Amino acid sequence: MLEGVWFAFALTLFAGLATGVGSILAFFTSSTNTKFLSWALGFSAGVMIYVSMIEIFVKAQDALVGEQGEVLGNWYTVMGFFGGMVLIAMIDKFIPSQGNPHELKKVEDMNKKAVPNGNADGDLLKMGSFTALAIAIHNFPEGIATFTSALQDPALGIAIAVAIAIHNIPEGIAVSVPIYFATGDKKKAFRLSFLSGLSEPVGAIVAYLFLMPYLTDTMFGIIFAGVAGIMVFISLDELLPAAKKYDEAHTSIYGLITGMAVMAVSLLLFI
């Protein structure tokens, strides 16, 4: 049991620290590969939507119907699903508008505002700091989702962790680029980007301390239904619109379909 907890936590940590990968990538390029980012965000959305509707929702439904009966179990599943959507929508509503964590930032555009003498540009610094805060808030429920999923089904946890890690990479860029070009300090930009991803493992710790003691089949089913709702909302409200912004020749849709196909094959291999 303890090994499973450590494995679930390690997956959550991996997903959260991908923001740091995005930060590092931003420092070693003079232009943004928007075509790749568009495909990657579409891929991440495809993985999340497919695994949510085909695997997570069904697992939640099976658990709840088994515990609560056909009628009540299905009602609990649907309420948990839309409850997850409401939760993440409320988090988004209270995130400062300057800090949209899924607004793709282009390195070359930020470079035009670079501060050559090292004095901080207040607007850029504020935008980067707000984005870091927004990502930290946003990653918290994602951490709970990754941890609880990995705890119940390690293969499913791996798939979710990879999908979240992919979409955390451009989030890291969104934090580090404005802070770096505002201050000229790569270490500060990386540090804030890195720290914003740590809320994901914090979410895992909270899930372990406060949810684990009550993790009955009914609680598990409700949490899983909520996780499905959260991931579908993130995909439709944030990942796909961000991917479409810099889309070229349906790149994001190809990424979406590829993500679904990869997830489908992965689930079949683990049957």
Burial 61-96 (b: 16+ CB within 10 A, else e): bebbbebbeeeebeebbbbbbebbbeebeebbeebe
Annotated binding site for Zn(2+): 142, 167, 171
Amino acid 71: pLDDT:
94
Pairwise CA distance, residues 265 & 271, whole Å? 10
C-alpha–C-alpha distance, residues 241 and 233, integer Å:
12
pTM for the full model? 0.74
Where is the binding site, in residues? Answer: 139, 142, 167-168, 171, 200
Binding positions for Fe(2+) are 139, 142, 168, 171, 200
Average pLDDT, the chain: 80
* Tens digits of residue pLDDT in 137-159: 878 888 888 898 888 888 888 88
Residue ranges in the chain whose pLDDT is less than 70? 1, 26-27, 29-33, 95-124, 127-128, 246-249, 270-271
Backbone φ and ψ of 244, nearest 5°: -70, -25
Domain map (residue ranges) of the chain: 2-269
pLDDT at 13: 92
